[in-house]
Amino acid sequence: MRAPPQHRPLRPGVLAERFHAVRNATRALAAPLSAEDCAIQSMPDASPVKWHLAHTTWFFETFILGRHEPQRAPFHPTFKYLFNSYYNAIGDRHPRPYRGLLSRPALAEVLAYRDHVEARILALLAEGALPADLLSLVELGLHHEQQHQELILTDLKHLLSCNPLRPAYQKTWPLTPVKARARSWVRFAEGARQVGHEGEGFAFDNESPRHTVWVNEFEIASHPVTHGDFARFIEDSGYRRPDLWLAAGWDQVVARGWEAPLYWERAGDSWQTFTLRGMVPIEPNTPVCHITFYEAEAFARWAGARLPTEAEWEVAAADAPREGNFVESGALHPLAMREAPPEGAIAQIFGDVWEWTRSDYAPYPRFRTAPGAVGEYNGKFMANQYVLRGGSCATPASHIRATYRNFFPADARWQFSGLRLARDA
Amino acid sequence: MRAPPQHRPLRPGVLAERFHAVRNATRALAAPLSAEDCAIQSMPDASPVKWHLAHTTWFFETFILGRHEPQRAPFHPTFKYLFNSYYNAIGDRHPRPYRGLLSRPALAEVLAYRDHVEARILALLAEGALPADLLSLVELGLHHEQQHQELILTDLKHLLSCNPLRPAYQKTWPLTPVKARARSWVRFAEGARQVGHEGEGFAFDNESPRHTVWVNEFEIASHPVTHGDFARFIEDSGYRRPDLWLAAGWDQVVARGWEAPLYWERAGDSWQTFTLRGMVPIEPNTPVCHITFYEAEAFARWAGARLPTEAEWEVAAADAPREGNFVESGALHPLAMREAPPEGAIAQIFGDVWEWTRSDYAPYPRFRTAPGAVGEYNGKFMANQYVLRGGSCATPASHIRATYRNFFPADARWQFSGLRLARDA
Amino acid sequence: MRAPPQHRPLRPGVLAERFHAVRNATRALAAPLSAEDCAIQSMPDASPVKWHLAHTTWFFETFILGRHEPQRAPFHPTFKYLFNSYYNAIGDRHPRPYRGLLSRPALAEVLAYRDHVEARILALLAEGALPADLLSLVELGLHHEQQHQELILTDLKHLLSCNPLRPAYQKTWPLTPVKARARSWVRFAEGARQVGHEGEGFAFDNESPRHTVWVNEFEIASHPVTHGDFARFIEDSGYRRPDLWLAAGWDQVVARGWEAPLYWERAGDSWQTFTLRGMVPIEPNTPVCHITFYEAEAFARWAGARLPTEAEWEVAAADAPREGNFVESGALHPLAMREAPPEGAIAQIFGDVWEWTRSDYAPYPRFRTAPGAVGEYNGKFMANQYVLRGGSCATPASHIRATYRNFFPADARWQFSGLRLARDA
Amino acid sequence: MRAPPQHRPLRPGVLAERFHAVRNATRALAAPLSAEDCAIQSMPDASPVKWHLAHTTWFFETFILGRHEPQRAPFHPTFKYLFNSYYNAIGDRHPRPYRGLLSRPALAEVLAYRDHVEARILALLAEGALPADLLSLVELGLHHEQQHQELILTDLKHLLSCNPLRPAYQKTWPLTPVKARARSWVRFAEGARQVGHEGEGFAFDNESPRHTVWVNEFEIASHPVTHGDFARFIEDSGYRRPDLWLAAGWDQVVARGWEAPLYWERAGDSWQTFTLRGMVPIEPNTPVCHITFYEAEAFARWAGARLPTEAEWEVAAADAPREGNFVESGALHPLAMREAPPEGAIAQIFGDVWEWTRSDYAPYPRFRTAPGAVGEYNGKFMANQYVLRGGSCATPASHIRATYRNFFPADARWQFSGLRLARDA
pLDDT by position in tens, chain C (length 425): 334 445 677 888 999 999 999 999 999 999 999 999 999 999 999 999 999 999 999 999 999 999 999 999 999 999 999 999 999 999 999 999 999 999 999 999 999 999 999 999 999 999 999 999 999 999 999 999 999 999 999 999 999 999 999 999 998 766 666 667 788 999 999 999 999 999 989 999 999 999 999 999 999 999 999 999 999 999 999 999 999 999 999 999 999 999 999 999 999 999 999 999 999 999 999 999 999 999 999 999 999 999 999 999 999 999 999 999 999 999 999 998 777 777 788 999 999 999 999 999 999 999 988 888 888 888 999 999 999 999 999 999 999 999 999 999 999 999 999 999 999 98
Measured between CA atoms, how close is C214 to chain B, in angstroms? 5
Nearest to D382 by CA among D205, D245, D214, D246: D205
The verdict on a CB contact (< 8 Å) between C35 and D36 is yes
The Cα of A302 is separated from the nearest Cα of chain D by a number of Å equal to 14
> Mind telling me how many Å the CA of B17 is from chain A's nearest CA?
33
Task: Determine, for residues C36 and D104 on separate chains, whether the beta-carbon distance falls below 8 Å.
Answer: yes
Q: CB distance from A44 to chain D under 8 Å?
A: no
Q: Does A360 touch chain D (CB under 8 A)?
A: yes
- CB contacts of B167 in chain A (<8 Å) are 103-104
Q: Amino acid identity of B272? A: Q
- Pick among B214, B240, B307, B310 to test the C interface (most C CBs inside 10 A): B214
Chain C residue with Cα closest to B192: C214
- Give strand ranges (E) for D158-198: 185-188, 191-195
Cα dist from A374 to A62, A63, D227, whole Å: 11, 9, 33
Count of helix runs (H) and strand runs (E) in chain D: 11, 12
Nearest to C214 among B212, B294, B362 (CB): B212
**Residues 6+ away with beta carbon under 8 Å from A43:** A158, A414
Q: Which chains reach chain D with 3 or more Cβ–Cβ distances below 8 angstroms? A: A, C
Amino acid identity for residue D273 in this structure: T
3-state secondary structure of D275: strand
Q: Give the gap in angstroms from C-alpha D150 to the nearest C-alpha of chain C.
A: 20
Cα–Cα separations (whole angstroms), residue A159 to A46, A99, A167, A381, D210: 9, 14, 10, 25, 48
- Give me the DSSP letters along B281-314: E--TTSBP-S--HHHHHHHHHHTT-BPPPHHHHH
Mean residue pLDDT across chain D = 94
Residue A370 is predicted with a pLDDT of 81
Q: Is D360 on the interface with A (CB under 8 A)?
A: yes
Q: CA–CA separation, D403 vs D423, rounded Å? A: 21
Residue A206 one-letter amino acid: N
Say what the alpha-carbon torsion angle C256, C262, C263, C266 is, to the nearest 10 degrees. Answer: -70
What is the Cα B74 distance to its own chain's centre?
A: 30
Distance (Å) from the C-alpha of residue A103 to the closest C-alpha of chain B? Answer: 5
Q: C365, C230, C305, C359: which is closest to B382 by C-alpha?
A: C359
Residue type (1 letter), C259: E
Nearest Cα neighbor of A407 from A347, A334, A348, A355 is A355
Query: What letter does residue A306 receive in the DSSP assignment?
Result: B
Question: Which residue in the set B213, B242, B410 is minimally distant from C88, CB to CB?
Answer: B242
Candidates D192, D376, D424; nearest CB to A192: D192
pLDDT in tens, D7-56: 677 888 999 999 999 999 999 999 999 999 999 999 999 999 999 999 99
Distance CA B346, CA B369 (A): 33
A362/D358 CB distance under 8 A: yes
Q: What angle do CA D149, D155, D161 make, to 5 degrees?
A: 135
Enter the DSSP assignment of C409: -
| C373 near B CB under 8 A | no
B160, containing H or E segment: helix B132-161
Contact C362 B360 (CB under 8 A): yes
Instruction: State pLDDT tens for residues B60-94.
Output: 999 999 999 999 999 999 999 999 999 999 999 99
Residues of B in contact with C213 (CB under 8 A): 214
User: For C53-76, b where at least 16 C-beta lie within 10 A, e where not — what string?
Assistant: bbbbbbbbbbbbbeebeeeeeebb
Among the partner residues A192, A247, A362, nearest to D360 by beta-carbon distance: A362
Q: Chains touching chain C at 3 or more Cβ pairs under 8 angstroms?
A: B, D
- The sheet with strand B185-188 has its strands ordered as B185-188, B218-221, B422-424
Q: Do B104 and A40 touch (CB under 8 A)?
A: no
B188 vs C: CB within 8 A: no
Query: pTM (2 decimals)?
Result: 0.96
DSSP letters for B315-361: HHHTTS-S-SB-GGGS--S----SSPPPTT---S-SBSSEEEEEEE-
The b-or-e profile of A292-327 (16+ CB within 10 A means b, else e) is bbbbbbbbbbbbebbbbbbbbbbbbbeebebebbbb
User: What's the distance, CA D336 to chain centroid?
Assistant: 20
Average pLDDT over residues B244-262: 97
Residue in D78, D103, D164 nearest the CB of C36: D103
Residues of D in contact with C107 (CB under 8 A): 36
Q: Chains that contact A by 3+ CB pairs under 8 Å?
A: B, D
What value of ipTM does the predicted structure carry? 0.95
Sign for the CA dihedral angle at D171, D177, D182, D184 comes to: negative
Chain A residues inside the 8 Å CB shell of D214: 192, 212-214
Nearest-CA distance from D301 to chain A in Å?
11
DSSP designation for B407: E
Beta strands in D172-301 (DSSP E): 185-188, 191-195, 211-215, 218-221, 264-267, 270-275, 278-281
Alpha helices by DSSP H, listed for B162-273, are 227-235, 247-256
Q: Does B267 touch chain A (CB under 8 A)?
A: no
Chain Cα centroid distance, residue A157:
14
Burial class (CB in 10 A: 0-12, 13-18, 19+), C338: exposed
Peptide bond connecting D409 to the previous residue in cis, omega within 30 degrees of 0: no
Residues found in chain A: 425
Q: In angstroms, rounded to a whole number, what is the distance separating the alpha carbons of residues B49 and B153? A: 9
Q: Write out chain A's pLDDT in tens, 425 residues.
A: 333 445 677 888 999 999 999 999 999 999 999 999 999 999 999 999 999 999 999 999 999 999 999 999 999 999 999 999 999 999 999 999 999 999 999 999 999 999 999 999 999 999 999 999 999 999 999 999 999 999 999 999 999 999 999 999 998 776 666 667 788 999 999 999 999 999 989 999 999 999 999 999 999 999 999 999 999 999 999 999 999 999 999 999 999 999 999 999 999 999 999 999 999 999 999 999 999 999 999 999 999 999 999 999 999 999 999 999 999 999 999 998 777 777 788 999 999 999 999 999 999 999 998 888 888 889 999 999 999 999 999 999 999 999 999 999 999 999 999 999 999 98
Query: Residue A401: phi, psi to the nearest 5?
Result: -160, 170
* D:271-290 residues touching chain A, CB 8 A cutoff: none
Give the nearest partner residue to D192 out of A214, A358, A363, using CB atoms.
A214
Distances from the Cα of B81 to the Cα of B39, B67, B78, C243, angstroms: 18, 17, 5, 18
* Cis bond before residue D105 (omega within 30° of 0): yes
| Beta carbons within 8 Å of C211's beta carbon, 6+ residues apart | B216, C194, C195, C196, C364, C365, C366
d(CA B371, CA B205): 12
C293 lies within 8 A of chain B by CB = yes
Amino acid at C386: Y
Bridge partners for D118 per DSSP: none
Other chains touching B, judged by 3 or more CB pairs under 8 Å: A, C
| Preferred mutation among B33, B34, B36 to probe A, highest tally of A CBs within 10 A | B36
Distance from C-alpha of A50 to C-alpha of A94, rounded to nearest angstrom? 14
pLDDT of B181 > 90? The answer is: no
Touch criterion met for C and D (3+ Cβ pairs within 8 Å): yes
Please give the average per-residue pLDDT across D66-91, as a whole number: 95
pLDDT at A1: 33
pLDDT given at position B9: 76
> What is the mean pLDDT of the segment spanning B289-295?
98
Q: Is the pLDDT of residue D4 over 50?
A: no
pLDDT for D178 beyond 70: no
Minimal-distance CA residue of chain C relative to B379: C246
CA triplet D148, D76, C166: central angle to 5 degrees?
Answer: 100
Smallest Cα distance from C360 to chain B, Å: 7
- B203, B377 in Cβ contact below 8 A? no
Chains D and A touch (3+ CB pairs under 8 A): yes
Four-point Cα dihedral A107, A111, A116, A119, nearest 10: 170
Cβ separation of C242 and B86 shorter than 8 Å? no
Name chain C contacts of B88, Cβ cutoff 8 Å.
242-243, 250
